[in-house]
Chain A
């Protein structure tokens, strides 16, 4: 996945899209006040400087689907594991809730179900049947909408063809109003995501930790770069 910070406006369409797609529960006021809100993707906001010279920066942070994910080796039950396609999978059924993976994750993109999720009836009718609902005591996280990836692959296989670049979009990418997010196969050098990931604006979050994140951020441009070019 590539996220262009020059396009991202921090509107959080991705956040709500993720809730809708992945059956993420709202925890309510009390639990939110206890820092237990679950947002698989969040938009981090940073201020720099003081009035009137204030700069605001937005940065959406989903699970970085690290190539060398700190969350994976620490899980004693293989609940968090590396899929063949290179995703950091989370098998909810295997999870016993040590929360070790969440501590090991440098990006804080893992979320714990402190209680059983509640959907006041009939809000439960909104639940996506393609995504399991998680119970109390287990970790959950961004999956890059694995159900959409699988559906795309099954569709392509049924049509006896390869998956087309851009055909599969996680919910966040699909919703992004500024088209700041691009999803694609990084092992295919020709994909749009691979092309953007080679951009000279490309950086990776906390790259120095050696986690090999698979989310590439394209740095903000500056108008003056444009002027000098």
Chain B
């Protein structure tokens, strides 16, 4: 007998024997009939959409056949099914051109997460106890529909609230249509990191109400004010691609990156010059650069157009912002300001970006407007090498959807709930986690506890969904129909859509489908306003008008168009065309707005607290993925935890050593985390990563590290509703020994042997 034959026989009989003989009931699995016709060992690549951050990158999912232990119709069994194995960028996609950031790649673990909610749940213990019992989908949807119809019959639809993460595309339209059809207030959008301030500033200065697309690939000089555009800000992959081209993509030409921020972020770490400035004074710094450019006649004031005239004193050459005064205010030497202004003005195209902490001070809007003015003065608004604005796709789902308006803010919702008993009778949660991501002082948890009925559509039990009465788990993104319409990262109109890359692993249902189902159960107006049987029908309807636009897909009939769009992972316009700039609607901003205000007196609270989104856990919504916990933070190299970043000189003064447990206290509470001494932070600033410190968020993230958001003051950015999350002052003290897990040895300089690199 040939060895190969023997192996074949033994494999056949062995497998059967193994299945039969194992005493462990776990192995007595039924084999379900394969649902898919996949060739074993051959990978197929299916387009998909990354939903983990607002960038909206296009993905390809590597799908291969595998055996999955699944529950089907209440029975555990082995199913040969197509399984997503790896996520890569979609090379055809205009935003990310085949690239994907670490977070996007880790999206795979969302699908296979061991603590994903596998089936609908109904609360069985007291609220917040985390005790749930499994129910069928029928029971769960019936409960939800029952609550909604009770509201409708009592004419109390205004007592329904919906909380969603910032949404775009058809999904936003659908949720809006759902709310409108129920005659309920529009969904409240909430995320810790939202580009609202930048969008508002852009609307005021230039017209388009969206974050800019930085065309770094053609820039010669990049000024970044707090924006961690290589890490987490806006559209990091698109910006990283462009940055690579700026640095080394043009033979003989290498752009310069200057970063202003009190701490070295990933972007600051890559800057040719990192210039620490006092927290919140980025706008003053930008205007001081403008002052020098105007004073030294490097560009005429009129060049800035509307964006310039917004700033008080622009026509007079910004007398309040001469470099000496700016040095006083920002801590940046006057000579440096003059030098940078000259360099930027003489190395066009130059571009300036403001974001993250720079726009999260009370002066945030002013800072963003000032940077916009600088951009305008440098002639970079709407020009190659400057900032462009994406002509974003806004799908339409018909008349009902049009009626949906912007929801209120989270603080407004909290106020509404607390305005009286049963002011909000039912609340629907769509994956947002405001209990974690809003300051404790905003009392989101306390408010939610007062709502009689909460339904969550999330995939995990987190701080917010633990309060839910019924959980209707959504598919993971890879199992769902997805769509998106990026507002940054490209100058093309992009409409993305993706069919499920794989069958659902668990007993979950796509939330849009559940909503359609509930609407049909309710009947009446809701059913007629949402006529689609399933979400993909709605998507097809929304995409249909694009068939006649000039873009990446050409087809003669709607069905062909739809299948080609799905094959390609979306539709994008043929040419790059930035929205026109110049339609700014803002009115004058007083120069006095430049001074940031802080919560907590400088005497009692000596340090500025600078929370920052991390490369791996983002705003905390990815802390549950083991890859994201174990991948070291690029700068601190910390794994599996959080830290308090201190300047070594500050630490010495406070008697704090690396790894000591320190307490960071604001007027609104305190958190504890181990100290990390890093040279790249101003002595009067302490920084803490956002993302850890979950009370309840799966086995990997629960009870790990500290959440600095909890102790933030509920201050807002002047002129907007946005949280000024960098405006809290704190005190810091050592409380004992601590433990910090570092991947890299700390504070070592490069050895001589490799230093020249």
Chains A and B touch each other in the complex, with CB atoms below 8 Å apart: yes
Residues of B contacting A205 in the complex (Cβ-Cβ under 8 angstroms) = 754
Cβ-defined contact, A10 with B241, below 8 A? no
Cβ-defined contact, A176 with B99, below 8 A? yes
Cβ-defined contact, A45 with B99, below 8 A? no
A/B pair count, beta carbons within 8 Å: 239
B25 interfacial contact with A, CB 8 Å: no
Residues of A contacting B270 in the complex (Cβ-Cβ under 8 angstroms) = 9-10, 56, 58
Q: Which of B155-179 contact A (CB under 8 A)?
A: none
CA distance A48 to B109 in the complex (A): 36
Cβ-defined contact, B106 with A16, below 8 A? yes
- Closest Cβ–Cβ distance, residue B503 to chain A (whole Å): 12
Residues of B contacting A126 in the complex (Cβ-Cβ under 8 angstroms) = 83-85, 108-109, 111-112
Residue of B88, B236, B640 near A175 (CB, 8 A) is B88
Residue-by-residue, is B79-99 near A (CB-CB < 8 Å gives 1, otherwise 0)?
000011111110000001011
Residues of B within 8 A of A (CB): 41, 64, 66, 68-69, 83-89, 96, 98-103, 105-106, 108-109, 111-114, 230-231, 236-237, 240-241, 243-245, 247-249, 252-256, 264, 266-270, 272, 274-276, 505, 615-616, 626-632, 634-635, 637, 639-641, 647-649, 678-683, 699, 704, 739, 741, 743-744, 747-750, 753-754, 756-757
Can you list 23 pairs linking A and B with CB atoms under 8 Å apart?
A: A6-B254, A7-B248, A9-B243, A10-B634, A15-B631, A17-B100, A20-B105, A20-B108, A26-B629, A47-B680, A50-B679, A54-B680, A57-B750, A120-B699, A125-B66, A125-B112, A126-B112, A128-B85, A129-B64, A177-B101, A205-B754, A226-B253, A226-B254
Residues of A contacting B272 in the complex (Cβ-Cβ under 8 angstroms) = 222-223
A203 interfacial contact with B, CB 8 Å: yes
Chain A count of residues within 8 A CB distance of the other chain = 71
Cβ-defined contact, B634 with A58, below 8 A? yes
Residue of A nearest to B231 (CB): A11
CA distance A19 to B87 in the complex (A): 12
Cβ-defined contact, A16 with B102, below 8 A? yes
Cβ-defined contact, A16 with B105, below 8 A? yes
> Contacts A175-B88, A178-B243 known; A32 to B99 CB distance under 8 Å?
no
> Contacts A12-B632, A46-B750 known; A177 to B626 CB distance under 8 Å?
no
- Closest Cβ–Cβ distance, residue A41 to chain B (whole Å): 11
A21 interfacial contact with B, CB 8 Å: yes
> Contacts A121-B114, A174-B88 known; A58 to B269 CB distance under 8 Å?
yes
Residues of A contacting B750 in the complex (Cβ-Cβ under 8 angstroms) = 46, 48, 57
Residues of A contacting B756 in the complex (Cβ-Cβ under 8 angstroms) = 203, 219
CA distance A4 to B69 in the complex (A): 43
- Closest Cβ–Cβ distance, residue B645 to chain A (whole Å): 12
- Closest Cβ–Cβ distance, residue A228 to chain B (whole Å): 11
> Contacts A16-B106, A217-B757 known; A10 to B269 CB distance under 8 Å?
yes
Cβ-defined contact, B747 with A120, below 8 A? no
Residues of A contacting B682 in the complex (Cβ-Cβ under 8 angstroms) = 51-52
Q: Which of A194-229 contact B (CB under 8 A)?
A: 203, 205-206, 208, 217-223, 225-226, 229
> Contacts A20-B87, A56-B270, A175-B100 known; A51 to B681 CB distance under 8 Å?
yes
A158 interfacial contact with B, CB 8 Å: no
Residue of B nearest to A5 (CB): B757
Residue-by-residue, is A31-71 near B (CB-CB < 8 Å gives 1, otherwise 0)?
01100010100111111111110101111000000000000
Residues of B contacting A222 in the complex (Cβ-Cβ under 8 angstroms) = 254, 272
- Closest Cβ–Cβ distance, residue B14 to chain A (whole Å): 19
Residue of B267, B269, B615, B629 near A12 (CB, 8 A) is B615
Cβ-defined contact, B640 with A32, below 8 A? yes
